[in-house]
Amino acid sequence: MQTAQYSALGEAARRFIAEKRRLLIDGQWVDAADGKTFAAIDPATEGEICQLAEAGPDDVDRAVKAARRAFEDSKWSRMRPADRERLLLKLADLVEANTDQLAGLESLDVGKPLFLARIIDVHGTVEFLRYMAGWATKVEGRTLDVSIGIPNAEFQAYTLRQPIGVVAQIIPWNFPLAMAAWKLAPALAVGCTAVLKPAEQTCLTALRLGELIQEAGFPAGVVNILTGPGETTGAALVAHPGIDKIAFTGSTGVGKLIGKSAMDSLKRVSLELGGKSPVIIAADADLDQAIQGAADAIFFNQGQVCTAGSRLYAEQSVFDRVVAGVADIAKSLKLGAGYAPDTQLGPLVSGEQMERVLHYIDTGRREGGEVVTGGARHGGQGYFVQPTVFTNCGPNATVLREEIFGPVLVASPYRSVDDIAALANDTSYGLAASIWSNNLSFVHRLTKRIKAGTVWVNCHNFVDPNLPFGGFKQSGLGRENGRDAIDLYTETKTVLMKI
């Protein structure tokens, strides 16, 4: 467990993993009612990091009831918005003050390079919390004119936006701390209470965030954190009658299951699902930038990004140059444990995920795709997969159609704007796309035609708390971030007064 190789993580991160981690229910850290535990695994060594409590149905029930009591409690429901804002700002300060520890834990648990965990995951979380804190004091309804035809009567009508209530929030393993913040911050800003379930592969930073939430002074029960598998802990949470809304990020398959189950009791539901996002490089683009951008779009976070640029389309005349450039970058990347100092590409999150990705690579080969670089596991220990580039995949190739969630790119040429619009949209997903070009007319024409929740131009994978984020088609339902996130966690109440 506490081996010398963890020295780069720092003392505070090592202290956190020195003991078993428990569930946060009603302001207390508790064991699972039935005492069950499971292991957090280091994906670079396949070794155990520490034990975690595994929440069962009794724990889910206690957490939901605690969140319900906290929601109805006047300490929370009648708290001034400015005081909720202050709590979120306090939490942001605490996260910032614990940057080293949180980055160390995230790097260890997910396998991501430490410097990226620090900049993207922890700093991104601080910025997100501060942004959402501001929304606490800016929730607003509308006043409306009415035309009700009753003689000699006048009316006054307005709407209120009120917190939905108790929300179940289920998050994936690719950006565990940031996803916890994306879920919790808007819910807390508007006055909801929450039960958060991190992915079983990556619980550490969510649990540390739970401690910081307590330290910031949020009342007991406002945030509850349950660790355990999706099929048991997650499913029990989704099915619980005490939940008013479910917010989920993860695979499209599980998202559909959750959506269907939510409909049984008409729980509100928002879904942030998978993608197969195209990166489109026109011949007139700044090719050096576009090639580096295309490599970053797929290899960032080992390709475990819902908006990963996993389909590369380059205009015919520059296709060979673009593919060679991306392949050269892939070959140059230094693979290693996230916490090793010179690592550029870490392991995948789990053995299961590595096997999935390797299976996709085999399928790609079997279906006639050509591997330009990569195409195999890296080393014999840890869940490392070589960054891989495919060409010559047919339009129905599995690697072109399904979300792989690993460092695997499929490159294809295109000829015209009509051609590329059709290719880009030839997918069941619609999360994001990027266009690399200096031709404004081409960019605008294509942007309008692409069916995706985000279109980046001359950049990829950039997010900002103020920008709505979500998917067309099977990439999801609803938009997170910005003002849209406030709508996700509030209901509209119409008030009509005869005066």
**How many angstroms separate the CA atoms of 78 and 317, rounded?**
63
Binding status of residue 109 toward Mg ion by CB under 5 A: yes
Q: What minimum distance in Å lies between the beta carbon of 206 and Mg ion?
A: 12
Binding status of residue 121 toward Mg ion by CB under 5 A: no
Q: What minimum distance in Å lies between the beta carbon of 58 and ligand NAP?
A: 17
Output b/e per residue, 268-280; b: 16+ Cβ within 10 A.
Answer: bbbbbbbbbbbbb
Point out which span in 13-21, 144-152, 233-241, 318-326 binds ligand NAP (CB under 6 A).
233-241
Q: Which of 50, 192, 203, 306 is catalytic?
A: 306
**How many angstroms separate the CA atoms of 452 and 435, rounded?**
12
Binding status of residue 173 toward ligand NAP by CB under 6 A: yes
Q: What minimum distance in Å lies between the beta carbon of 291 and ligand NAP?
A: 25
184-213: which residues touch ligand NAP (CB under 6 A)? 197, 199-200
Considering only CA atoms, which of 164, 188, 162, 163 is closest in space to residue 89? 188
Q: What minimum distance in Å lies between the beta carbon of 161 and ligand NAP?
A: 27
Point out which span in 37-45, 226-234, 362-370, 392-400 binds Mg ion (CB under 5 A).
37-45
Q: Are 292 and 401 in contact (CB under 8 A)?
A: no
Q: Which residues fall within 8 angstroms of residue 147, CB to CB, at 6 or more apart?
A: none
Binding status of residue 480 toward ligand NAP by CB under 6 A: no
Which of 101, 107, 201, 249 is the binder for Mg ion (CB under 5 A)? Answer: 201
412 touches, from Mg ion, ligand NAP, none (C-beta below 5 to 8 Å by class): none
Binding status of residue 200 toward Mg ion by CB under 5 A: no
CA angle 328, 331, 337 (to 5 degrees): 140
Closer residue to Mg ion, CB minimum distance, 41 or 424: 41
Binding status of residue 251 toward ligand NAP by CB under 6 A: yes
Could you give the string, one character per residue 262-301, with x where binding to ligand NAP holds by CB under 6 A and - elsewhere? ----------xxx---------------------------
Closer residue to ligand NAP, CB minimum distance, 238 or 326: 238
385 touches, from ligand NAP, Mg ion, none (C-beta below 5 to 8 Å by class): none
Which of 114, 196, 306, 452 is the binder for ligand NAP (CB under 6 A)? Answer: 306
**How many angstroms separate the CA atoms of 212 and 279, rounded?**
39
Which of 9, 13, 17, 41 is the binder for Mg ion (CB under 5 A)? Answer: 41
Binding status of residue 399 toward ligand NAP by CB under 6 A: no
Closer residue to ligand NAP, CB minimum distance, 76 or 405: 405
Binding status of residue 59 toward ligand NAP by CB under 6 A: no
Structure tokens at 256: 């559909």
200 touches, from Mg ion, ligand NAP, none (C-beta below 5 to 8 Å by class): ligand NAP
41 touches, from ligand NAP, Mg ion, none (C-beta below 5 to 8 Å by class): Mg ion
Binding status of residue 254 toward ligand NAP by CB under 6 A: yes
Rg (the chain; Cα; Å): 24
Binding status of residue 336 toward ligand NAP by CB under 6 A: no
How far, in Å, are 166, 193, 275, 397, 476 from residue 428 at the CA level?
32, 34, 9, 14, 11
Size of the site for ligand NAP (CB under 6 A): 26
**How many angstroms separate the CA atoms of 105 and 100, rounded?**
9
Binding status of residue 353 toward Mg ion by CB under 5 A: no
Binding status of residue 403 toward ligand NAP by CB under 6 A: yes
Binding status of residue 230 toward ligand NAP by CB under 6 A: yes
Q: What minimum distance in Å lies between the beta carbon of 346 and ligand NAP?
A: 16
Q: What minimum distance in Å lies between the beta carbon of 240 and ligand NAP?
A: 11
306 catalytic? Reply is yes
CA angle 40, 42, 47 (to 5 degrees): 85
306 touches, from Mg ion, ligand NAP, none (C-beta below 5 to 8 Å by class): ligand NAP
Which of 56, 176, 234, 346 is the binder for ligand NAP (CB under 6 A)? Answer: 234
Binding status of residue 333 toward ligand NAP by CB under 6 A: no
**How many angstroms separate the CA atoms of 443 and 455, rounded?**
10
314 touches, from Mg ion, ligand NAP, none (C-beta below 5 to 8 Å by class): none
Tell me the residue number closest to ligand NAP, measured at CB: 230
Q: Which of 85, 272, 315, 480 is catalytic?
A: 272
Q: Are 433 and 414 in contact (CB under 8 A)?
A: no
Rule CB under 5 A: which residues touch Mg ion?
A: 40-41, 109, 201
Rule CB under 6 A: which residues touch ligand NAP?
A: 170-174, 197, 199-200, 229-231, 234-235, 238, 249-251, 254, 257-258, 272-274, 306, 403, 405
What amino acid positions are annotated as catalytic residues? 272, 306
